[in-house]
Structure 1
Amino acid sequence: MTLIRLWSGTRWRVASSEADEELPAQGPLVPADSVAGRSLVIVIAIMTFLAALAANAALLVADASVEWRGEVAREATVQVRPVTGRNIEADLDKAAALMRQTPGVRETQIYTKAESEALLAPWLGQGLDLTELPTPRMIVLKLDAETPADFGRLRMELERYVPSATLDDHHVFIARLGDMARAAVIVAGAVFVLILAAMGVAVASATRAAVATNREIVEVLHIVGAADAFIAREFQRRFMALGLRGALIGGGAAIGFFLLAQFAARRWRATGGGDQMEAMFGDFSIGAGGFAIILLLAGGVALLTGFLSQAIVLRHLKRLG
């Protein structure tokens, strides 16, 4: 009995030339499950997870940067230096009264000598006796977000009435915060692009391996007149399914990671380290926008996987002539 492999339109079947007996179907053109396919799913899941982390890290840093700059912009400080021949307490009261009369200044707070000295502790260390040092005194201004203060006029008034006072609106610090946040977002974006590029290389390698494994079948179909689009579509359908499976696994893992990180951040909020992490990144809450990004990323990865596999197969078929 002679066995002949026939293509039934969607899958291969085996028939007998003597008994005309059709045997069980042998499966689709591209195997549905294989070691290479499972490995590709794992790679895509890991890459999707890392890409989701990079994208949402950029989102968290950008949102935190807006909060940082907003908080800093709502405050300004006046530094009053001790000068020989002038009463620093009188200068403090005069500067604070001048600030209270300025539109846009909502509240003023004069730091005591002990509070001003405590601000130097991170640089000079703890336990130092600063009583003999001419320590500047601080006035903290709370600004009205709806009524911007005229800092140019304020500086002129301070120079006129309190020459030993200096106004700092933190614009340099705000600019540096913005630069730092933009740099972090750019780095996260670059990492995201590199991860997608690595994923594309993995998909391309897996597709070439699948074409090589099914080389004889692909060439026979090409010779007997099967349309290149049909053959490429078979590979595209299979690899898109693999890509979607891996992307959903990686995206689900990323969602679980952020939910767990948000829960842990709430538990650690009362600790010193937790407060610092919250100040830097917020409460790790990515919100509906972050979850939408992960779902869109999973769908994009599946489409990218299918598109790359189709393009590679079509290129291989064109070389066959």
Structure 2
Amino acid sequence: MTDAALSSSGINASVRTSRAPAPIVPPARIGGNALVAVIAIMTFLSCLTLGAVTLVRDTAGQWETQIAREATIQIQPREGFDIEDALTRTALTASAVKGVTGVRVVDPDATARLLEPWLGKGVDLNALPVPRLVIVTIDPVNPPDFAEMRAALDAQGLGARLDDHRTWVDRLVGMAHSTVIAGLAVLALMLAATALSVAFATRGAMSGAGHIIEVLHFVGAEARFIAGEFRRHFLWIGLKGAGAGGIAAVLAFLGFGIWTKVNMATPGADQSAALFGQFHIGASGYAGVALVALVVAGITALTSHFTVVAFLSDIDVPRNEQS
């Protein structure tokens, strides 16, 4: 054998021994960037949904706590009626009930400020049949007997009407529960859509490398080995997409919080703060964002795994029938 032939055979042997084994799932066969973007978008939307549910739940809890600590007594003015004397007697009657920690009569100036957004400034309340209010602060641990309070007020014959806000509390609790259920349903739909996207991507990757997978399977490669290769690839894709979507959601919540603080005095920010607070989801909310990202990554890996197993099972069925 000539020196040139020996040199050539040595080079070929070196190339064969140094060549790394090709992966079963080449990254180029997976629409990597597109799938990462889809997973990131779905994670972002899922985190926003979870954060919105958290905000509404926490805000409704604050409303419930604040409303449950107060009750309101209304007295309607009428001709020939000493409203100031009626307010004083009503306050004394309410303060004598066990479970009441404080009583405050809303003065005319405060009443005018309450009605200013609707009636404007400089309105003479004496010319309007505007009810006067008595705010009763109650003990949330040992609340008063509202039936007893109503009976005591009726005995005064002042036409006082007690509102313990129970109707509003029940509506707030019902709204919070409905919001949580709706949010969880939307979150479940988004996770299902993510799983379907991963399943289609896995099928696409398998169709591109189908001949390789079938040969490996026919020569004895177990389904869990092949599925493990796909699972590792898609887990990494899921981690990248879910991480990007989770970080984007955290930045969005931080941006909303900064916006409300900067625009605190504007009507839009005031209304948003009244409905949703300061867009601060707290430690539990951020933990929920991290949990959603991990769940999405896990769904991505598991979906690819079971899709591969189902595909290989379909291959085994005709082979078993032929044998």
The answer on 1:92 being equivalent to 2:95 is no
Matched residue type, 2:33 = R
Matched residue type, 1:50 = L
* Match of residue 13 from structure 1: none
Matched residue type, 1:277 = S
Between the two structures, name the one with larger relative contact order (CA 8 Å, sep ≥ 6).
Answer: 2
TM-score using structure 2 length: 0.86
Query: Of 287, 291, 294, which aligns to 2:286?
Result: 291
CA distance in 2, matches of 1:131, 1:25: 92
CA distance in 2, matches of 1:91, 1:114: 18
The answer on 1:160 being equivalent to 2:155 is yes
CA distance in 1, matches of 2:280, 2:167: 29
Query: Of 254, 273, 279, which aligns to 2:274?
Result: 279
TM-score using structure 1 length: 0.87
Q: Post-superposition shift, 1:101?
A: 1.9
The answer on 1:250 being equivalent to 2:207 is no
The answer on 1:182 being equivalent to 2:180 is no
* Match of residue 319 from structure 2: none
CA distance in 2, matches of 1:208, 1:149: 65
Q: Post-superposition shift, 1:302?
A: 1.4
Query: Of 49, 55, 68, which aligns to 1:60?
Result: 55
CA distance in 1, matches of 2:172, 2:62: 11
Alignment of 1:26-65 (within 5 A): 27-33=22-28, 36-65=31-60
Q: Deviations over 1:2-31 (max 9, x none)?
A: xxxxxxxxxxxxxx9xx6551733631111
The answer on 1:316 being equivalent to 2:311 is yes
Q: Unpaired segments of 5 or more residues in structure 1?
A: 1-15
Deviates more, 1:22-31 or 1:274-283: 22-31
Alignment of 1:1-321 (within 5 A): 22=16, 24-25=19-20, 27-33=22-28, 36-83=31-78, 86-113=81-108, 115-116=110-111, 119=114, 131-321=126-316
Q: Deviations over 1:248-283 (max 9, x none)?
A: 111111122222222222222333332322221122
Q: Deviations over 1:118-164 (max 9, x none)?
A: 65566667776554443322111222333312211100000001341
CA distance in 1, matches of 2:297, 2:157: 67
The 8 Å contact of residues 117 and 135 in structure 1, kept in 2 or not, is answered as no
CA distance in 2, matches of 1:222, 1:135: 83
Number of equivalent positions: 305
Matched residue type, 2:47 = A
CA distance in 2, matches of 1:197, 1:300: 12
Q: Post-superposition shift, 1:306?
A: 1.0
SS at match of 1:238: helix
Q: Post-superposition shift, 1:105?
A: 2.1
Q: Post-superposition shift, 1:80?
A: 1.1
Q: Deviations over 1:92-116 (max 9, x none)?
A: 1111111222232222222334544
Matched residue type, 1:257 = A
Q: Unpaired segments of 5 or more residues in structure 2?
A: 1-8, 317-323
Evaluate the alpha carbon distance shift between residue 218 and residue 49 of structure 1 in structure 2; reply closer, same or farther with a 3 A threshold.
same
CA distance in 2, matches of 1:250, 1:319: 35
Evaluate the alpha carbon distance shift between residue 285 and residue 114 of structure 1 in structure 2; reply closer, same or farther with a 3 A threshold.
closer
Evaluate the alpha carbon distance shift between residue 291 and residue 96 of structure 1 in structure 2; reply closer, same or farther with a 3 A threshold.
same
SS at match of 2:27: coil
Give percent identity, aligned residues only: 41
RMSD: 2.4
Matched residue type, 2:254 = L
